[in-house]
A and B are shown apart, each in its own frame.
Chain A
Amino acid sequence: MSTEIKADINMDLKGIACPMPVIKVSQQIKKMQVGQILAAETTDPGAHADFPAWAKSTGNEIVATEKKDAVTVFFIKKLK
């Protein structure tokens, strides 16, 4: 599972509650270039549902998720 994906930008969203993780990520993605990968670390349990739904409706891709204890890292690739 733990294939090493190198992220272009890392975001620390640990401890931040819904709906802020998705909002912060969507703002960060806007500043990035197509093809770049964003690694977002989050502890918000809602993120497991929020990020895939957000990615689907904005046309971005979650290339991988990594879970370490309470922290989940989402690797998001900007597609457009």
Chain B
Amino acid sequence: MHFTNHSTKGYNMDVQKVMESLQSEMNQLKDERKNKLSMVVFSGDLDKLLAAFIIATGAAAMGLEVVMFFTFWATASLRDKKKKSKAKDLLSKMFGFMLPKGAGKVKLSQMHMGGMGTGMMKHLMKKKNVASLEELRDMAIEMETKIYICDMSMNLMGFKQEGRQ
């Protein structure tokens, strides 16, 4: 911006231009802020993950931009069930072995009862046509939800990124 023109008219025009550009910039910032949802997903429990994905898909349907950040126990729910943990040190290997292999293997936070409770809940959900965790996850991805995974957690538990799903 330059104020070389010192006549009052030119000065006023410059001020007007500046105001207009500021206004449009402010509107842009407002728009960018309005339609966004960010979530930190920490838990690896089936019920809590379901809640997170229901909120995410619902918000995406409402036109919001959705960001999900997966950390700690939640990272295991995104594992590929077909791949083996390739951790080098023994402790990470143990975690890799003991943690659920993907969305199909996560447990309820309560009433898991050695798999019976979770199995019954899944059966009920299917019977009542409630979307499963895998379906909700795929739907969220289809709706362009951005999923970020904590690298530090992956490292701790011996998970590795191998291409994109």
Chain B residue numbers with a CB within 8 Å of A25 are 61
Any B CB within 8 A of the CB of A58: yes
Are A58 and B63 neighbours in the complex by a CB distance under 8 Å?
yes
Are B143 and A27 neighbours in the complex by a CB distance under 8 Å?
yes
Residue of A nearest to B140 (CB): A23
Question: Restricting to A14-34, which residues have a CB under 8 Å from any CB of B?
Answer: 15-20, 22-23, 25-27
Are A23 and B129 neighbours in the complex by a CB distance under 8 Å?
no
Residue of A nearest to B55 (CB): A19
Any B CB within 8 A of the CB of A57: yes
Chain A contact residues: over half helix, strand or loop, or mixed? helix
Please report the C-alpha to C-alpha distance between residue A29 and residue B56 in the assembled complex, in whole angstroms: 19
Question: Restricting to B62-104, which residues have a CB under 8 Å from any CB of A?
Answer: 62-63
Q: Which of A16, A17, A57 contacts B62 (CB 8 A)?
A: A57
Residue of A nearest to B62 (CB): A57
Chain A residue numbers with a CB within 8 Å of B130 are 17-18
Q: Which of A15, A17, A23, A58 contacts B58 (CB 8 A)?
A: A23
Number of chain B residues close to chain A: CB under 8 A = 14
Are A22 and B58 neighbours in the complex by a CB distance under 8 Å?
yes
Chain B residue numbers with a CB within 8 Å of A18 are 54, 130
Any A CB within 8 A of the CB of B57: yes
Are B61 and A16 neighbours in the complex by a CB distance under 8 Å?
no
Please report the C-alpha to C-alpha distance between residue A22 and residue B62 in the assembled complex, in whole angstroms: 9
Give a binary string over A1-44; 1 marks a CB under 8 Å from any B CB, 0 the rest.
00000000000000111111011011100000000000000000
Chain B residue numbers with a CB within 8 Å of A22 are 58, 61
Please report the C-alpha to C-alpha distance between residue A26 and residue B40 in the assembled complex, in whole angstroms: 25
Question: Restricting to B128-147, which residues have a CB under 8 Å from any CB of A?
Answer: 128-131, 139, 142-143
- CB-based closest 8 A-B pairs: A26-B61, A17-B130, A23-B61, A19-B58, A15-B129, A58-B63, A57-B62, A17-B129
Binding site for B on A (CB under 8 A): 15-20, 22-23, 25-27, 54, 57-58
Question: 28 pairs across A/B with beta carbons < 8 Å?
Answer: A15-B129, A16-B129, A17-B128, A17-B129, A17-B130, A17-B131, A18-B54, A18-B130, A19-B54, A19-B58, A19-B61, A20-B129, A20-B131, A22-B58, A22-B61, A23-B57, A23-B58, A23-B139, A23-B143, A25-B61, A26-B60, A26-B61, A26-B62, A26-B63, A27-B61, A57-B63, A58-B62, A58-B63
